[in-house]
Amino acid sequence: MTNKFNDKLGQGGFGSVYKGKLPDGRLVAVKSLNETKSNGEDFMNEVASISRTSHINIVTLLGFFFERSKRSLIYEFMPKGSLDKFIYSQGTDNQSRQLEWKTLYDISLGIARGLEYLLQGARGTAGYIAPEVFFRNLGGVSHKSDVYSYGMMVLEMVGGRKNIDVEVSQTSEIYFPSWIYKHIDQSMNLNLNEEITGEEEEITRKLITVSLWCIQTNSLDRPSMTRVIEILQGSLQSLELPPRPT
Protein backbone atom coordinates (compact mmCIF):
# COMPACT_ATOMS: atom_id res chain seq x y z
CA MET A 1 0.00 0.00 0.00
CA THR A 2 2.89 2.40 0.73
CA ASN A 3 5.23 1.23 -2.07
CA LYS A 4 7.73 -0.05 0.52
CA PHE A 5 7.61 3.33 2.31
CA ASN A 6 9.49 5.08 -0.49
CA ASP A 7 7.23 8.15 -0.78
CA LYS A 8 7.76 10.02 2.48
CA LEU A 9 5.51 13.03 3.04
CA GLY A 10 6.88 14.25 6.35
CA GLN A 11 8.07 13.43 9.83
CA GLY A 12 7.05 14.50 13.33
CA GLY A 13 7.77 13.72 16.95
CA PHE A 14 5.56 10.61 16.94
CA GLY A 15 6.51 9.06 13.61
CA SER A 16 6.74 9.47 9.84
CA VAL A 17 4.02 9.93 7.21
CA TYR A 18 4.06 8.17 3.85
CA LYS A 19 1.92 8.35 0.73
CA GLY A 20 -0.03 5.19 -0.02
CA LYS A 21 -2.79 3.80 -2.20
CA LEU A 22 -5.73 1.60 -1.25
CA PRO A 23 -6.83 -1.34 -3.45
CA ASP A 24 -9.69 0.80 -4.79
CA GLY A 25 -7.20 3.41 -6.02
CA ARG A 26 -7.75 6.03 -3.32
CA LEU A 27 -4.64 7.85 -2.15
CA VAL A 28 -4.02 7.90 1.60
CA ALA A 29 -1.52 9.25 4.11
CA VAL A 30 -0.09 6.50 6.33
CA LYS A 31 1.35 7.69 9.63
CA SER A 32 3.81 5.07 10.86
CA LEU A 33 4.20 5.62 14.60
CA ASN A 34 7.45 5.13 16.45
CA GLU A 35 7.80 1.66 17.94
CA THR A 36 6.81 1.26 21.58
CA LYS A 37 6.90 -1.45 24.24
CA SER A 38 3.34 -0.79 25.40
CA ASN A 39 0.68 -3.50 25.08
CA GLY A 40 -1.29 -1.45 22.56
CA GLU A 41 -4.21 -0.57 24.82
CA ASP A 42 -3.44 3.15 24.70
CA PHE A 43 -3.14 2.99 20.92
CA MET A 44 -6.50 1.27 20.50
CA ASN A 45 -8.14 3.78 22.85
CA GLU A 46 -6.66 6.59 20.76
CA VAL A 47 -7.95 5.00 17.54
CA ALA A 48 -11.41 4.67 19.04
CA SER A 49 -11.34 8.32 20.10
CA ILE A 50 -10.11 9.61 16.73
CA SER A 51 -12.63 7.51 14.81
CA ARG A 52 -15.48 9.29 16.61
CA THR A 53 -14.39 12.71 15.35
CA SER A 54 -16.15 14.19 12.35
CA HIS A 55 -15.43 17.79 11.41
CA ILE A 56 -14.77 19.63 8.15
CA ASN A 57 -11.49 21.02 9.53
CA ILE A 58 -10.12 17.69 10.79
CA VAL A 59 -8.50 15.07 8.55
CA THR A 60 -10.55 11.86 8.50
CA LEU A 61 -9.13 8.63 9.90
CA LEU A 62 -9.83 5.82 7.41
CA GLY A 63 -8.23 2.89 9.23
CA PHE A 64 -5.28 1.61 11.23
CA PHE A 65 -2.68 -1.17 11.43
CA PHE A 66 -1.53 -2.79 14.65
CA GLU A 67 0.81 -5.76 15.03
CA ARG A 68 2.95 -6.06 18.15
CA SER A 69 5.16 -2.96 18.30
CA LYS A 70 4.23 -1.73 14.80
CA ARG A 71 1.36 0.76 14.62
CA SER A 72 0.08 2.92 11.78
CA LEU A 73 -2.81 5.30 11.23
CA ILE A 74 -4.36 5.67 7.77
CA TYR A 75 -5.77 9.11 6.95
CA GLU A 76 -7.35 10.68 3.90
CA PHE A 77 -4.70 12.13 1.59
CA MET A 78 -4.34 15.92 1.40
CA PRO A 79 -2.95 16.59 -2.11
CA LYS A 80 -1.76 20.13 -1.33
CA GLY A 81 0.57 18.86 1.38
CA SER A 82 1.50 20.24 4.77
CA LEU A 83 0.96 23.85 5.80
CA ASP A 84 4.63 24.38 6.62
CA LYS A 85 5.52 24.13 2.92
CA PHE A 86 3.59 27.34 2.30
CA ILE A 87 4.39 29.53 5.30
CA TYR A 88 8.17 29.29 5.72
CA SER A 89 10.39 31.40 3.49
CA GLN A 90 12.92 29.37 1.56
CA GLY A 91 16.19 31.28 1.88
CA THR A 92 16.96 34.76 3.18
CA ASP A 93 16.49 36.45 -0.20
CA ASN A 94 12.91 35.26 -0.65
CA GLN A 95 10.61 37.98 0.64
CA SER A 96 7.54 36.87 -1.31
CA ARG A 97 4.61 35.36 0.55
CA GLN A 98 3.21 32.16 -0.94
CA LEU A 99 -0.23 32.54 0.66
CA GLU A 100 -2.36 35.68 0.61
CA TRP A 101 -3.38 37.18 3.95
CA LYS A 102 -7.03 36.28 3.37
CA THR A 103 -5.98 32.66 2.86
CA LEU A 104 -3.91 32.71 6.07
CA TYR A 105 -6.92 34.14 7.89
CA ASP A 106 -9.24 31.42 6.56
CA ILE A 107 -6.72 28.72 7.53
CA SER A 108 -6.33 30.16 11.05
CA LEU A 109 -10.10 30.31 11.52
CA GLY A 110 -10.56 26.76 10.21
CA ILE A 111 -7.90 25.38 12.54
CA ALA A 112 -9.47 27.26 15.46
CA ARG A 113 -12.85 25.70 14.69
CA GLY A 114 -11.36 22.22 14.44
CA LEU A 115 -9.44 22.64 17.70
CA GLU A 116 -12.53 23.99 19.45
CA TYR A 117 -14.39 20.86 18.34
CA LEU A 118 -11.63 18.59 19.67
CA LEU A 119 -11.39 20.38 23.01
CA GLN A 120 -15.14 20.19 23.52
CA GLY A 121 -14.67 16.44 23.30
CA ALA A 122 -11.84 16.59 25.86
CA ARG A 123 -9.19 15.72 23.26
CA GLY A 124 -5.80 17.35 23.08
CA THR A 125 -3.60 18.06 20.09
CA ALA A 126 0.14 17.90 19.61
CA GLY A 127 1.92 21.16 18.95
CA TYR A 128 4.20 23.68 20.59
CA ILE A 129 4.42 22.84 24.26
CA ALA A 130 3.00 25.31 26.77
CA PRO A 131 5.28 26.40 29.66
CA GLU A 132 3.06 24.82 32.33
CA VAL A 133 3.95 21.40 30.93
CA PHE A 134 7.48 21.93 32.26
CA PHE A 135 6.87 24.40 35.08
CA ARG A 136 4.03 23.20 37.28
CA ASN A 137 4.13 26.40 39.34
CA LEU A 138 2.47 28.07 36.33
CA GLY A 139 -0.61 25.88 36.72
CA GLY A 140 -1.75 22.47 35.59
CA VAL A 141 -1.91 21.22 32.02
CA SER A 142 -5.36 21.84 30.52
CA HIS A 143 -7.12 22.73 27.27
CA LYS A 144 -5.39 26.12 27.55
CA SER A 145 -2.12 24.31 26.75
CA ASP A 146 -3.56 23.56 23.30
CA VAL A 147 -4.55 27.21 22.98
CA TYR A 148 -0.88 28.08 23.51
CA SER A 149 0.15 25.68 20.73
CA TYR A 150 -2.40 27.25 18.40
CA GLY A 151 -1.05 30.74 19.10
CA MET A 152 2.52 29.70 18.34
CA MET A 153 1.40 28.14 15.06
CA VAL A 154 -0.45 31.30 13.99
CA LEU A 155 2.65 33.38 14.74
CA GLU A 156 4.62 31.17 12.36
CA MET A 157 1.98 31.72 9.70
CA VAL A 158 2.20 35.49 10.15
CA GLY A 159 5.99 35.65 10.14
CA GLY A 160 6.69 32.92 7.60
CA ARG A 161 9.42 31.50 9.86
CA LYS A 162 9.94 29.16 12.79
CA ASN A 163 9.21 30.65 16.21
CA ILE A 164 12.68 29.59 17.33
CA ASP A 165 15.23 30.23 14.56
CA VAL A 166 18.90 29.91 15.42
CA GLU A 167 19.95 31.02 11.93
CA VAL A 168 18.89 34.66 12.28
CA SER A 169 21.60 37.33 12.31
CA GLN A 170 20.80 38.81 15.73
CA THR A 171 20.35 36.91 18.99
CA SER A 172 17.36 39.09 19.91
CA GLU A 173 15.50 37.75 16.87
CA ILE A 174 15.89 34.03 17.67
CA TYR A 175 12.54 33.91 19.52
CA PHE A 176 9.93 35.20 17.07
CA PRO A 177 7.30 36.38 19.62
CA SER A 178 9.97 38.72 21.04
CA TRP A 179 10.70 39.96 17.52
CA ILE A 180 6.99 40.69 17.06
CA TYR A 181 6.91 42.89 20.17
CA LYS A 182 10.11 44.63 19.13
CA HIS A 183 8.72 45.60 15.73
CA ILE A 184 5.16 46.45 16.66
CA ASP A 185 4.09 49.81 18.08
CA GLN A 186 1.09 50.77 20.17
CA SER A 187 -1.02 51.29 17.04
CA MET A 188 -0.30 47.64 16.21
CA ASN A 189 1.61 48.26 12.99
CA LEU A 190 4.02 45.49 12.06
CA ASN A 191 6.99 46.24 9.83
CA LEU A 192 6.47 43.57 7.18
CA ASN A 193 8.69 43.54 4.11
CA GLU A 194 5.75 43.77 1.72
CA GLU A 195 3.00 46.11 0.63
CA ILE A 196 -0.43 45.14 1.92
CA THR A 197 -3.93 46.50 1.47
CA GLY A 198 -6.11 47.89 4.25
CA GLU A 199 -8.05 44.62 4.44
CA GLU A 200 -4.83 42.61 4.64
CA GLU A 201 -3.51 44.88 7.39
CA GLU A 202 -6.69 44.24 9.40
CA ILE A 203 -6.25 40.49 8.96
CA THR A 204 -2.60 40.76 10.04
CA ARG A 205 -3.50 42.71 13.18
CA LYS A 206 -6.19 40.19 14.10
CA LEU A 207 -3.86 37.22 13.65
CA ILE A 208 -1.08 38.88 15.65
CA THR A 209 -3.39 39.94 18.47
CA VAL A 210 -5.11 36.58 18.87
CA SER A 211 -1.83 34.66 18.73
CA LEU A 212 -0.17 36.87 21.35
CA TRP A 213 -3.14 36.43 23.68
CA CYS A 214 -2.95 32.66 23.14
CA ILE A 215 0.72 32.42 24.19
CA GLN A 216 0.39 34.27 27.49
CA THR A 217 2.54 32.61 30.15
CA ASN A 218 -0.33 32.40 32.63
CA SER A 219 -2.85 29.97 31.16
CA LEU A 220 -5.70 31.86 32.85
CA ASP A 221 -4.92 34.86 30.65
CA ARG A 222 -5.36 32.86 27.43
CA PRO A 223 -8.72 32.91 25.65
CA SER A 224 -10.79 29.82 24.99
CA MET A 225 -10.93 28.57 21.40
CA THR A 226 -14.53 29.78 21.28
CA ARG A 227 -13.29 33.26 22.20
CA VAL A 228 -10.51 32.98 19.58
CA ILE A 229 -13.12 32.38 16.88
CA GLU A 230 -15.13 35.36 18.13
CA ILE A 231 -12.03 37.58 17.95
CA LEU A 232 -11.16 36.45 14.42
CA GLN A 233 -14.70 37.06 13.22
CA GLY A 234 -15.26 40.26 15.19
CA SER A 235 -14.22 43.90 14.96
CA LEU A 236 -10.74 45.26 15.61
CA GLN A 237 -11.99 48.31 17.49
CA SER A 238 -12.16 46.63 20.91
CA LEU A 239 -8.94 44.61 20.58
CA GLU A 240 -5.95 45.46 22.75
CA LEU A 241 -2.39 44.24 22.44
CA PRO A 242 -1.77 41.78 25.31
CA PRO A 243 1.16 41.96 27.74
CA ARG A 244 4.50 40.73 26.47
CA PRO A 245 4.84 37.00 27.26
CA THR A 246 7.75 36.26 29.59
Distance CA(221)–CA(226), nearest Å, equals 14
Mean pLDDT value of segment 134-157: 77
Band of pLDDT at residue 128, cut at 50, 70 and 90:
low
pLDDT in tens, 54-99: 777 888 888 888 877 788 889 999 888 888 777 765 444 444 567 8
- Residue 84 vs residue 124, higher pLDDT: 84
* Distances in whole angstroms, Cα of residue 68 to Cα of each of 71, 73, 147, 211: 8, 14, 34, 41
Residue list, annotated binding site for ATP = 31
Which domains, ranges and CATH numbers included, belong to the chain?
Answer: 8-76 (3.30.200.20), 84-233 (1.10.510.10)
Band of pLDDT at residue 106, cut at 50, 70 and 90:
very high
Say which amino acid occupies 235: S
pTM higher than 0.75:
no
Q: Is the pLDDT of residue 7 over 90?
A: no
Q: Is the pLDDT of residue 45 over 80?
A: no
pLDDT in tens, 150-200: 888 888 888 765 554 434 444 444 456 666 776 665 445 555 556 778 888
Radius of gyration over alpha carbons of the chain, in Å?
Answer: 19
- In this prediction, residue 172 carries a pLDDT of 44
Distance CA(189)–CA(184), nearest Å, equals 5
Mean pLDDT value of segment 20-39: 85
* Distances in whole angstroms, Cα of residue 22 to Cα of each of 4, 71, 74, 76, 112: 14, 17, 10, 11, 31
Q: Report the range of poorest mean pLDDT among 117-121, 213-217, 230-234.
A: 117-121
Residue list, annotated binding site = 31
Burial group, residue 34, by CB count within 10 angstroms (0-12, 13-18, 19+): exposed
- In this prediction, residue 136 carries a pLDDT of 58
- Residue 111 vs residue 95, higher pLDDT: 111
How is 173-185 classified by DSSP, letter by letter?
A: GSBHHHHHHHHB-
Distance CA(92)–CA(66), nearest Å, equals 43
- In this prediction, residue 227 carries a pLDDT of 92
What's the mean pLDDT when you consider all of the chain? 75
Given a contact cutoff of 8 angstroms between Cβ atoms, the answer to whether 81 and 183 are in contact is no
Percent of the residues in the chain that have a pLDDT greater than 70, as a whole number: 69
